[in-house]
Amino acid sequence: MNRRHALRHIALISGGLALIPSCDFSKEDILAAYENLKITASQKALLAAISDSIIPAGEIKGALDLEVVDFILVMVNDCYTQENREKFTAGLEAFPDYTEKSTGKKFEALSTKEKETFLLEAGALTGDDTPEGKRQASIGYFLSSVKRFTIQGYMASEYIQTEIIPYSLIPGEYNGAVLISDLQKPRING
């Protein structure tokens, strides 16, 4: 064998051995942006699908278009206690299995009407002290938290506050010579 071929093969083998530790064959990576939560990318996608079912896009943008899922995760990560974060995460982990058990399909495969009715039914779940009851209670807690933060994040978004319901810091300028019939649409926030 030629010395050059031997050196080439040794270089290729050592380069390959250097790359092996960087190959990760684990299940799924945990998102690093939320240090207190252990959320994977597929769980974030499921959360996005749930928030999109709560406020779908229509004439105006929906929750998915405004990326409300990031608001939900930041609020849970930063504002919830450790106990509530664990309950939220337990509900998020149990939700796909509960969906398949109840409907026979994955959540993403349900029609829009089926998603709405399923979320209403699952959001009203309460549990008892059995393991199954605790699981159902965590699912109900998870869905009520998602619904609350979806609405809060949607209504506080820049798009809603600037284009749909323009926020006025002061009530408006005073003009005493205006007829009531000439008034514009009232602003809810100011």
Mean pLDDT of 159-186: 75
How far out from the chain centre does Cα 66 lie? Answer: 11
Mean pLDDT of 127-148: 90
Judged against a pLDDT cut of 60, whether residue 190 lies above it is answered with no
Mean pLDDT of 175-182: 75
Judged against a pLDDT cut of 80, whether residue 85 lies above it is answered with yes
Beta bridge partners of 30: 40
Judged against a pLDDT cut of 60, whether residue 158 lies above it is answered with yes
What's the chain's average pLDDT?
Answer: 84
Asked whether residue 71 is assigned to any structural domain, the reply reads yes
Q: How many domains does the chain have?
A: 1
CA distance 187 to 190: 6
Under DSSP, the state recorded for 185 is P
Query: Comparing 79 with 176, which gets the higher pLDDT?
Result: 79
Confidence of residue 27 (pLDDT cuts 50, 70, 90): low
Asked whether residue 139 is assigned to any structural domain, the reply reads yes
> If DSSP codes are grouped into helix, strand and coil, which group holds residue 40?
strand
> If DSSP codes are grouped into helix, strand and coil, which group holds residue 30?
strand
Confidence of residue 157 (pLDDT cuts 50, 70, 90): very high
CA distance 27 to 136: 26
pLDDT digits (tens, 9 = 90+) for 98-136: 999 999 999 999 999 999 999 998 888 887 888 888 899
Max Cα-Cα span within the chain = 101
Asked whether residue 86 is assigned to any structural domain, the reply reads yes
Considering only 54-63, 92-101, 121-130, which range has the smallest mean pLDDT?
Answer: 121-130
Judged against a pLDDT cut of 90, whether residue 56 lies above it is answered with yes
- Give just the sign of the alpha carbon dihedral 91, 81, 27, 51: positive
Asked whether residue 8 is assigned to any structural domain, the reply reads no
Q: Which domain holds residue 140?
A: 27-182
